[in-house]
Structure 1
Amino acid sequence: MWMGLDKKEVKDALEGVMPWLAPTGKLTVEALSKLDRPLLAWAPESQAYLFDSADFYADYTDEPGGMSPLEKKIAKLPPRREWKMERVWTPHEESDEEHEHAHEKASVTIGGRLLHPRDLDAYATFAYEYAGLEDEDDFTDAEDGTPGLQRVTGDLTRALAWAAAGVCVLQQSLPHPFRDVMLYGETDNRPAHRILFAYASLLRIKHPRKAAPWFTALVYLNPMDNVGARFLAPGGPTYQSTHG
């Protein structure tokens, strides 16, 4: 695939591509074996569903400090397709009995926990639970200055396993390499962003360099960056000052 390209050309071609996570972990293998089918994912065939990065970032050129190197790269990309995802909703206090019954009927036991195998939010929830965190907001620094990562007091290995399983479930639905757009503004797309951010954030504790491409991919995936991945991605705003 990369014949005739030098290292820089290969690096440029791969930047922003969602990394591929090998589905080899014990929990991941179990989750995929119980997956009845992949989540549906599609890119509407319409000019209305092409994301123009240059147009989006045009509103940011006059911001204090200007655009970061990462944002400048994304702004130069040609229009990309916008993808939509099927979503399996975790039942909550406002769910009706029909939804709760359907979700329960489709649920299976994975890693000793009962969940719908296509419910990406469930994988993220368990990942944060095993890490000793409530949600992604716990990764932010506390008011007393304590770094969010230091508040991970649980079983990081187990937490990463759950996050990885969720990412691998998501991967079953997307082509590879994937460098298109999946906007967070589409409500049904949000579980995909949450599981990717959970995995990247937990991986960052053990392997910051391995986590970096995941944060970069999240910004390419959704330039609005509702989860704040740009601050943890190489070339993003404040990255140099916080990572040396």
Structure 2
Amino acid sequence: MTQQRTIAWVQSPAEFPDTDSALQQPNGLLAASETLNPDWLLASYKRGIFPWYNQGEPVLWWSPSPRAVLFTDEFKVSRSLRKALRKAQADPDRQITLNHDFEGVMRACAAPRSDEAGTWITEEIIQAYCGLHARGLAHSVEHWHHNELVGGLYCVSLGRMVYGESMFSRQTDASKIAFACFVSWLIEQNVHIIDCQQATRHLLSMGAREIDRQQFETALVHAASQPPLTWAPRQLEWTHD
């Protein structure tokens, strides 16, 4: 009889077990805790661990293998997205901005979606990541149309390691346009890798691929040790054709 493996209940980030002890099924489940706050997030992201759980559950911590990542020089722009980017750039009523409304983006990502039963972005998650944003370690990209927020995404960044979290769209291609402009800016900043956590058809279509945990953690250590980016609020544009 196969012995069922269990996960660790941790009382502090220092108690996170080695990531190679994560379960294979469900893929990457590593530990559980009662607490989530910016200190826990910072400690976990340094090791490539992230929280993902539902309302009413303990905080569940994950380190999946394989891991979905996007190498920025492999970013794919479809013909339809390239057309949408050109149209957006020609529209004076559209702007793509960096770090103009972090909490607004998070709450938009948390809003109910027609294809999902609920959201993992709880109020506890929002407050923890807003705390990380206040420390200059979590960031947002906004897509505005007529001064209304129509799409965007948020992420965490340590050094030149960027961890993508979630995105939303209220108009067709709004998040894709924001993401493309963000990748273009990251390339200019010498950022080579974005953690996508889980492979989805949406991300794979834009060039994301899977690598094993060891490859990911090696890339993470190298990127996170680089000088941090300057995340001052600004406008972003697509500059790489």
TM-score range, shorter chain: under 0.3
Which protein is richer in helix relative to its size?
1
Which protein is richer in strand relative to its size?
2
Task: Give TM-score, length-normalised by structure 1.
Answer: 0.26
